[in-house]
Each structure stands twice: as C-alpha cells, then as structure tokens.
C-alpha cells in the first residue's frame, strides 16, 4: 500500500515533464504549396490559414480577383514556399472551412503574418478570442498605411459619408448594411473615414463591402 503514493508522484512527474516538453518544442513543417496571400498547404496536406490577417483575393471559381491579390500571392510564395515554418495556434484552432488557424514563423524568426501586413499585402482581421498578436499586427498595419504601401493605395478610398463599426466583431459596415442595423449601442462606433476604421484595427464587412 505504501507504494501507491510513490507511484502517483512518479506518474505525476511524467505528466508534468510531458507538458513542459510539448510546450517548449515546436516542430517545423515544410510548405508544399501557397494558395494565396494568407493560405498555405504543408507537406502533410494540412491547409493553414494565417491568423489575424486578410490578404486580397485572387481570381477563383469565376470570381474576379481583388487589387494586389496576385502580388500578395507572389510575395507569400517568396516568403514561405519550399521552406520550413513553425506554427502557433491561438484559442480557436480551425475556421469554418476546416483550415488550421495559425501564426506562422520561419526558421530565422520572421513572423510571416506580420510581414504580409508590414509589406502592405494584407490588413488585420481580428477574430475574438484570437488576439495574441493583435497589438504587433496593428502597429505594422499603421506603418504600412502611413507609407501607402500596395493595398493601401486602393483600400482607403471612401464610398460612404460615414461607417458603422462593431467593437465586438472588429468589423465596419455601410450604414445601410443589415449587420450594421443589429449593432448594440454599447458596441457601436462611428467612423468618418475608412482610414479611421482601419487605423483602429477594424476590418471591412465581407457582405456590404464598404
């Protein structure tokens, strides 16, 4: 009977060692393919969606591409294709399409998500509760906006006299957007320009496309 406490401590030690080992070791994966400016495919077939950012779409399935979509794809290819990357996940692991949501790092320490924003090929897309690098990404976006790098040559053109933002979703909308009509007064913020909305880390609604 006296052996049980010792056995318990032994197995507890193994568990703690295992947790520490897992948290201190992050494997690197080989990037086989690059879909676009914010999505890659690993050698094991896992499709990874860059977390915290959104790059312009390329033409696909009969839909036209967005400005700088091809350029964002080429820049992402230059950054990661054929290279080894380390992945960090946040509180949510997958999106609705089954893609792994991750912050991606090269062996030399380059934070790929941030690099795409800093180069002006993506904007921040904050999705609660996945906000680990929100501050760093927003700072990179502000610098890219001030320099008018790439996507910021076209995204800042105003299409409405004002925009309605939702503090909870970090999205901004046209005033007549159905999603805007449902914003709680506690979460409502009004922006006079797109610049103001983007500078505060809000991203455009994919439905009304302000």
Same domain, 35 and 96: yes
Strand partners, 33: 41
DSSP label at 59?
Answer: P
**Is the preceding omega at residue 129 within 30 degrees of 0, hence cis?**
yes
Single residue among 114, 130, 153 that ends a domain in this structure: 153
Domain of residue 206: give its range.
156-210
Active-site residue identified among 32, 47, 57, 149: 57
Establish if 2 belongs to a structural domain: no
> Is 99 an annotated catalytic residue?
yes
| Residue-level pLDDT at 61 | 75
Establish if 16 belongs to a structural domain: no
Same domain, 31 and 132: yes
Same domain, 120 and 51: yes
Same domain, 42 and 145: yes
> Is 74 an annotated catalytic residue?
no
Single residue among 134, 153, 172 that ends a domain in this structure: 153
Number of structural domains (the chain) is 2
Same domain, 88 and 136: yes
Domain CATH for 169: 3.40.10.10
| Residue-level pLDDT at 50 | 98
Query: How would you write the pLDDT of the chain (210 residues) with one tens digit per residue?
Result: 444 444 444 443 443 333 333 334 579 999 999 999 999 999 999 999 999 999 999 987 777 889 999 999 999 999 999 999 999 999 999 999 999 999 999 999 999 999 999 999 999 999 999 999 999 999 999 999 999 999 999 999 999 999 999 999 999 999 999 999 999 999 999 999 999 999 999 999 999 999
DSSP string, 189-201: EEESSHHHHHHTT
Same domain, 109 and 162: no
Active-site residue identified among 3, 32, 47, 49: 49
> Is 57 an annotated catalytic residue?
yes
Domain CATH for 147: 2.40.50.90
Establish if 94 belongs to a structural domain: yes
Establish if 90 belongs to a structural domain: yes
Establish if 19 belongs to a structural domain: no
Give the strand pairing for 171-173 and 203-204: parallel
DSSP string, the chain: -THHHHHHHHHHHHHHHHHHHHHH---EEEEEEE-SSSEEEETTS-EEEETTEEPPPPPBTTBPPPTTHHHHHHHHHHHHTTSEEEEE--S--B-TTSPEEEEEEETT--BHHHHHHHTTS-EE--BTTB-TTHHHHHHHHHHHHHTT-GGGGTTT---SS-EEEETTTTEEE-TT-HHHHT--TTTEEEESSHHHHHHTT-EE-TTT--
């Amino acid at each position: 009977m006296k052996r049980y406490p010792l056995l318990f401590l032994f197995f507890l030690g193994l568990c703690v060692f295992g947790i520490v080992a897992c948290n201190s070791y992050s494997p690197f994966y080989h990037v086989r393919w690059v879909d676009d400016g914010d999505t890659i495919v690993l050698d094991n077939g896992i499709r990874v969606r860059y977390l915290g950012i959104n790059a312009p779409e390329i033409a696909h399935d009969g839909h036209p591409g967005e400005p700088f979509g091809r350029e964002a794809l080429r820049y992402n290819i230059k950054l990661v294709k054929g290279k080894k990357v380390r992945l960090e996940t946040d509180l949510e692991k997958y999106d609705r399409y089954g893609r792994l949501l991750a912050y991606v790092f090269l062996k030399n320490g380059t934070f790929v998500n941030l690099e795409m924003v800093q180069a002006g090929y993506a904007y921040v897309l904050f999705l609660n509760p996945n906000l680990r690098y929100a501050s760093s990404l927003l700072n990179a976006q502000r610098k890219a906006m001030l320099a008018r790098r790439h996507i910021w040559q076209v995204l800042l053109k105003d299409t409405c006299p004002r925009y309605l933002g939702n503090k909870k979703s970090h999205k901004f909308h046209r005033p007549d957007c159905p999603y805007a009509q449902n914003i709680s007064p506690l979460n409502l913020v009004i922006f006079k320009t797109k610049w103001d909305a983007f500078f505060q880390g809000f991203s455009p609604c994919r439905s009304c496309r302000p």
